[in-house]
Amino acid sequence: MLSKNQLKNISKLSTKKNRQESGLFLAEGEKLVYELLDSGWKANKILSTVPIQKINHTRIDSNQMKKISHLASASKILGVFHIPKYDSNHQDHQGFSLVLDNVADPGNMGTIIRLCDWFGIRNLYCSFNSVDCFNPKVVQSTMGSIARVRCHYVDILTLIENCETPVYAATLDGNSYYNESFPTHGLLVMGSESHGISDTLLEKIDNRITIPSHNSGTGVESLNVAIASAILLGEIFRP
């Protein structure tokens, strides 16, 4: 069982401030916890309401699990993991990488991390005002892909200025992606659907692409950023 103080400290990991100060984050569910362990991620503690074979863990009851869970229905297993440290100063632009500017929705961030995993993108670059990839909702929605995609929080403007490969920006007024012939190396910059890519960044990007709408009447004004990312990455990685 856990003490009240331990429960309180684990609950505090719901906030970015406490995750940064402690260097810890939460992962809930058997699949997610095992994927992180199998990928070599270091656990601070594994908590479970059921016996687990061959893994050091602390047994807690379902009431304690409900107090620290961020899910509507608490899982039987929850892991407290150390946040990995990546060298964000060494930026690898082999192949295509994705860049996110001010993407604040945890569900979108988690889905985009899964997309990166699907397309073999190992490095995801995020602006400082994007949602923290170790937010519990983000971690949960990655379905384990967080174990294979490195999320870097960097100055996006500097990243683009120093990039020696082509940089593409997804905008509403760009050239149709149907007409583009994408190289094997580059950056694709995506902005939030509410704000788009900041003007400061757009001034530095010459290649602007869009997904043309086939609805000539009134309708949706823009696509969800995760859906748009999936469409564009599908074309970029098309054989």
Using a cut of 0.85, tell me whether the model's pTM lies above it: yes
The predicted pLDDT at position 1 comes to 81
Query: Does the pLDDT value for residue 9 go beyond 80?
Result: yes
Indicate the DSSP class of residue 196.
B
pLDDT tens by residue, 115-141:
999 999 999 999 999 999 999 999 999
Query: Does the pLDDT value for residue 91 go beyond 70?
Result: no
Delineate the domains of the chain, giving CATH numbers in brackets: 4-82 (3.30.1330.30), 96-236 (3.40.1280.10)
Average pLDDT for the chain: 93
> Helix axis angle, 106-118 relative to 225-236, nearest 10°?
10
Q: Do residues 139 and 107 lie in contact, with contact meaning Cβ atoms separated by under 8 Å?
A: no
Query: Does the pLDDT value for residue 94 go beyond 80?
Result: no
